[in-house]
Amino acid sequence: MLLWIILLIVLWEIFASVVTQTKRTPENVMPHLSGVIDSIFSDKRINGSQTAFEMIIENAGATLSRAGIGYLIGIALGFVLALLMSLSGVIEKIAFPYLMLIQLIPILGMAPIINAITGDIAVSRIVIAAILTFYPVATNTIAGFKAVEPAKHELMYSYAASKFQIYTKTMIPFCIPYLFTGLKISAPMAITASILVDTLQGGIGLGCLLSQSLKGAMTRYVFWDIVFFSAFIGILSFYLMSVIENLLCRYKRAGGSGKKG
């Protein structure tokens, strides 16, 4: 991992040096990383009252709050649908094709439709984040339900367990690692979707700030600050889900260490 990071930094600096030799200024196309880092910690007021870092944090708060709400809604709906599909083959046959259809619709094509339906920009951003979370959670959770060994079902039936007991004692605990696979996939997607939709609509958000910086409303260093910050948040969200998974699925690690021993 460290080797790849070093390689990317070297390649970045090479291209930034090439740009320096052209008529274009490097800060407008590809600045040196030192310039980007300096712009983050600079106390220069970009819009008259805020530094670049203060602007990014303020807009990130709006974007991440909408992405977070949509993410939680998508998790709840995706898990409930997976549970219903596991309980009823009819529901699975009806719902699964629509799940695939939702996944095929581009985010940028979906945004105007959702905005027209909801009539509210903020709500439409939440809905889109929820939709992109919904599919990975639903499909991975249903895969977890289907992966339960028949022997475990037979054991529960031999104890005369009810359907509720089978799901709470066996099915749901078994599918949690599958659920977290969906959560790790959808967390960066929800954040990316929120930023992309922000670029199409007005208001406050990282995407809006990104769009303004591209139009020359402020220094282009702000653009690169947002790009790096967004990438960092996306990667962080993935690893955060991994940490939560490790905390909740201690039995998984214990089983893995037992096999190694």
- Return the CATH number at 188: 1.10.3720.10
Give domain status of residue 160, yes or no.
yes
> Are the beta carbons of 137 and 182 closer than 8 angstroms?
yes
Helix axes 89-104, 52-87, angle to 10 degrees: 150
Give domain status of residue 16, yes or no.
no
Give domain status of residue 4, yes or no.
no
Low-confidence ranges of the chain (pLDDT < 50): 253-261
Give the span between the Cα atoms of 235 and 143, in whole angstroms: 25
Give domain status of residue 211, yes or no.
yes
Give domain status of residue 117, yes or no.
yes
> Are the beta carbons of 107 and 116 closer than 8 angstroms?
no
pTM of the model: 0.83
Give domain status of residue 23, yes or no.
no
Give domain status of residue 177, yes or no.
yes
Supply the pLDDT for residue 219.
67
Give domain status of residue 20, yes or no.
no
Name the domain count of the chain: 1
The residue range of the domain holding 119 is 30-250
